[in-house]
Amino acid sequence: DAGVIQSPRHEVTEMGQEVTLRCKPISGHDYLFWYRQTMMRGLELLIYFNNNVPIDDSGMPEDRFSAKMPNASFSTLKIQPSEPRDSAVYFCASSSAGWTQYFGPGTRLLVL
């Protein structure tokens, strides 16, 4: 079975540029989560969706961050404009009925 798929795996961009991270959850899972991981703050939940609807976005750092889930098999996390402090590993995870979450391999973002 395919796990959670994320793209790109690595992204290097310049400050001010728009960054779009993509996620394909495990088929049949109705919850999707976006996390950010840094050395200083560990794993932080940014936002999660249930049946494509955003449920809790209180972890989104600021208005520069936005996330969408247009259908059950695709979600995006967008940062516009990006800043160096956004450099981190961004993980997408999915679950069925909100239980055990399965993580993707992550996108390593470096903003110069």
Residues at the site binding other proteins, with contacts judged by CB under 8 A: 4, 31, 42-43, 45, 48, 50, 55-56, 91, 93, 98-106
Residue of 23, 5, 38, 48 lying closest to 110 (CA atoms): 38
**Nearest approach, Cβ of 16 to other proteins (angstroms)?**
27
Rounded to whole angstroms, how far apart are CA atoms 83 and 109? 11
**Nearest approach, Cβ of 33 to other proteins (angstroms)?**
8
Q: Across the strands, what pairs with 93?
A: 33, 103
**Nearest approach, Cβ of 37 to other proteins (angstroms)?**
9
